[in-house]
Each structure stands twice: as C-alpha cells, then as structure tokens.
C-alpha cells in the first residue's frame, strides 16, 4: 500500500512543486499525497482519513499557523492516526519556530526553498519512524489481547474452581449428614445392647445373650461396611488407577463367592452369560461395581430373586454390562436420583445408606464409561454400566 501524506501550505505554487516532486522525482505509486491550503482544512482531512501517516506543514499560515496545528493534534491525539508523524516546512532562518515545532511534536523539519533530495531523505526517515510506531502499537495490542485472554482464562478457572468448591462443600455437608445418620443407627443399637448386657448380665439367659451378641456382630459389620464404602468413595475421587484387560468370568466368580451367604439366604437364582467380552479397567473397582449391583438386586429383586447378568458391544468402542432383576421396578421419577451421592429413595426402598450407586457412578466414569438404569414399575430393573474394549496394546 502506498504511504499517505498530507501537505499543508497556503501557497498554491509550492503545492504544485511538491506534487511534481512526488510524481517525478520520488517513485510514483509509492506515495499518495493530499493537499490542504489551511490548518483548519488539514484537520478536517486528517479526521476524514485516519490512514494518513505523514504530515508536512508550513509554519507561517494565516488564521491558524503550523505551531497551533501541531498543538491541536497533540491535544486531541486520540482522534487522529496514532502514528501520524509531522514534518514542518519553514524558512531556514526561522530556527526559533523550528525548536517550538519540535517541542510541539514535530518529527523533523524541511527548509525553504525545498530541496528534492532533502525531502526524499526526510520522508524516508519519517516512514521508518511510522513503521516502528506501528510495530510498537501492534506489539502492545498483541500484549493487551494476550492479557485479556489470560484474564478470561483466569476468570474461567476461578469460576470453575469456585463451582468445584461449592460442589465439594455441598457434598461435604451431605457426606457429614450421611455419616452421622447412618452410623448413628448401628452404633446406637450396639450401645443399647452393650448397656443392657452389662446391666442385666446376671439375669440374661445364654440363648438370649447369644442373640444379643449376634445382633452386635451384625451391626458392627454394617458399621464397618459403611466406613469401607466411605473410604472407597474417597479413594475413587483422588486416585487415577491403571487400566488393564479384565477377566470378567473370574471377577464375577469372586463376587459371587463373596455374596454366597446372601445368595443362600435369599435363595436367589443367578444366570451368567456363556461368554464374557474383554473390557479394560481397574479390576478391584469393577469388582465393587458388580458387588453393589448384585447386592441391590438381591435385596430388591423378586421373592426369590432371579438375576440375569449379561454383556454386549455398545457404541464408541465400549462394552455394556448389566444386572437384570425380577423386582417390583423403580418409578421413572425416582430413577434420576439413584446415582446421586447421599440421595436415598423412600424408606421402603432404601435399606442401604445411599452411597453404593454413587460410588458405582464415580468408579465407572473414572474408568471412561457410563452408568444407567432401565426400569418400569412391576417389570423389574436392569442396571448397566459400560467399559472400554481392551485393545491389542493392553493385551
């Protein structure tokens, strides 16, 4: 793009000389020059065309002289081209005005009569000055943009962190409430039985004492299970576990072995698929997922429970696993709350302590999968989760 200049002088003959100079003596096409016959006209042109980079102005003009023009430009800098570079044109002997012009913001000066070579060199220096100013402004704008982006990113991270803290505080309050509520019941029973045993020890029959100790053991076991699940939940939040191919058949056999007393108590029938697909995950956590699903299915399945375990490929390189029961099912309005931390359904359907399924959700999501339930009242429920397919590198 050609460099834009504005020449201000009230002498038409001098304007003609300067125009001839830029057309013939200096490379034509490298510059675009405009003319004004007064300082007031120059101000109007500069406002209308902010792309003018260089101003050549006579000092001695009627109504408004060159010094006043420079002062006006300096005072209203934000309204004109920020890189506008003034050059004053005056008689050689007018050094006092030249000094004033330089103090008023002039970059350089030319003397009359105008020398072509002097104009060429002075304008060339002014162009270099303009380029440096533009480069400095561009750098400043880039720095401001980077700072704005940094501030926006910082604000975003602060908002995210604030939301996380608010969520953590809410979870902590719910956590404390759940721990207090659910541990209070078995510990209260333990305390009551121990107090009665101490007070009426001599009057207690052996059979009654045996029943009381059995209840104490069950309540203590329940308390330990609550603590174990709370510790597991805390571990899931903090740990990033390794992922390996899982032999699901062996893992299911281990879970069923752990649940054997409960399976016999409920007289449950459990069907497993003839083949298990190879998924990737952290086996100890996946075992807890199955434990939670199967325990709930045994508790809330039919009488007796009939459970069907299954698996199949699902979308996006995942494998879906599930436990289907023959229980009374779950109302659609209650289903969204199932995997919510510390949330329980009605007392008739919530003998657990509101942590199991929330732990399942956290585990599966940490392993890259999803959880869910499909259920209709009176038609049983199918609880499912997904894990990534084990790839050849893992094998």
- Residue 49 resides in a domain: yes
Residue 99 predicted with pLDDT over 80: yes
Pick the range with the lowest mean pLDDT from 13-17, 89-93, 195-199, 237-241. 237-241
Token look-up 């659609």 returns 332
Determine the pLDDT at residue 353: 37
- Give the residue-averaged pLDDT of 49-77: 88
The radius of gyration of the chain's CA atoms, rounded to the nearest angstrom, is 43
Name the domain boundary from 114, 133, 156.
114
Average pLDDT over the chain reads 82
- Give the residue-averaged pLDDT of 375-391: 91
- Residue 28 resides in a domain: yes
Which residue range(s) make up the domain with 104?
Answer: 3-114
Confidence of residue 344 (pLDDT cuts 50, 70, 90): very low
Q: What is the pLDDT of residues 280-315, one digit of tens each?
A: 999 988 998 999 899 999 988 888 999 999 999 998
- Residue 271 resides in a domain: yes
Name the domain boundary from 84, 114, 144.
114
Residues facing residue 89 across a β-bridge: 58, 110
Determine the pLDDT at residue 347: 39
Give the CA distances from residue 77 to residues 43, 86, 164, 221, in Å, rounded to whole numbers and listed in that order: 12, 13, 47, 81
Q: What is the pLDDT of residues 131-141, one digit of tens each?
A: 999 899 999 99
- Residue 152 resides in a domain: no
- The DSSP call for residue 394 is T
- Give the residue-averaged pLDDT of 261-287: 93
- Residue 134 resides in a domain: no
- Residue 127 resides in a domain: no
Nearest to 297 by CA among 271, 275, 332: 271
> How many structural domains does the chain have?
2
Confidence of residue 352 (pLDDT cuts 50, 70, 90): very low
C-alpha 369/C-alpha 371 separation (Å) is 7
**How far is it between the farthest Cα atoms of the chain?**
132
- The DSSP call for residue 395 is -
- Residue 56 resides in a domain: yes
Residue 391 predicted with pLDDT over 80: no
Determine the pLDDT at residue 113: 82
C-alpha 364/C-alpha 386 separation (Å) is 7
Instruction: Find the CATH number of the domain harbouring 338.
Output: 3.30.565.10
User: Which percentage of the chain shows pLDDT scores above 70?
Assistant: 83
Instruction: Find the CATH number of the domain harbouring 83.
Output: 3.40.50.2300
- Give the residue-averaged pLDDT of 365-391: 91
Name the domain boundary from 75, 92, 114.
114
Q: What is the pLDDT of residues 158-211, one digit of tens each?
A: 998 888 778 766 666 665 665 666 666 677 777 776 777 777 677 767 787 777
- Residue 153 resides in a domain: no
Determine the pLDDT at residue 395: 42
Determine the pLDDT at residue 222: 67
């Amino acid at each position: 793009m050609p460099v834009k200049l504005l020449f201000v002088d009230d002498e038409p003959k001098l304007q003609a000389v300067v125009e001839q100079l830029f057309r013939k003596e200096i490379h034509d096409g490298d510059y675009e020059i405009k003319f004004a016959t007064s300082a007031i006209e120059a101000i109007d042109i500069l406002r209308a065309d902010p792309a003018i980079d260089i101003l050549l102005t006579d000092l001695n003009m009627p109504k408004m002289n060159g010094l006043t023009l420079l002062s006006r430009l300096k005072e209203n800098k934000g309204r004109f081209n920020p890189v506008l570079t003034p050059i004053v044109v005056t008689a050689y002997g007018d050094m006092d005005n030249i000094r004033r012009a330089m103090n008023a913001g002039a970059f350089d000066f030319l003397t009359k009569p105008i020398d072509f070579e002097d104009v060429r060199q002075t304008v060339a220096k002014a162009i270099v000055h303009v380029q440096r100013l533009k480069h400095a402004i561009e750098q400043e704008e880039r720095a401001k943009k980077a700072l704005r982006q940094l501030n926006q990113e910082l604000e975003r991270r602060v908002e995210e962190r604030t939301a996380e803290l608010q969520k953590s505080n809410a979870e902590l309050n719910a956590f404390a409430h759940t721990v207090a509520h659910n541990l209070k019941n078995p510990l209260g029973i333990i305390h009551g039985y121990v107090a009665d045993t101490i007070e009426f020890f001599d009057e207690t029959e052996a059979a009654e004492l045996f029943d009381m100790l059995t209840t104490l053991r069950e309540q203590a076991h329940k308390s330990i299970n609550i603590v174990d699940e709370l510790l597991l939940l805390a571990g899931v939040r903090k740990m990033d576990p390794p992922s390996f191919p899982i032999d699901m058949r062996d893992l299911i056999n281990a879970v069923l072995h752990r649940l054997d007393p409960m399976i016999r108590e409920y007289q449950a029938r459990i069907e497993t698929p003839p083949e298990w697909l190879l998924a990737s995950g952290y086996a100890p956590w996946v075992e807890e997922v199955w434990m939670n699903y199967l325990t709930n299915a045994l508790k809330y399945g039919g009488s007796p429970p009939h459970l069907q375990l299954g698996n199949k490929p699902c979308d996006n390189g995942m494998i879906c696993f599930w436990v289907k029961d023959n229980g009374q099912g779950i109302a659609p309005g209650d289903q969204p709350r199932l995997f919510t931390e510390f949330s329980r359904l009605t007392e008739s359907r919530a003998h657990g302590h509101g942590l199991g399924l929330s732990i399942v959700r956290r585990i599966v999501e940490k392993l890259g999968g999803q959880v869910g339930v499909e259920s209709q009242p009176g038609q049983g429920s199918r609880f499912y989760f997904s894990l990534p397919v084990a790839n050849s590198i893992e094998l």
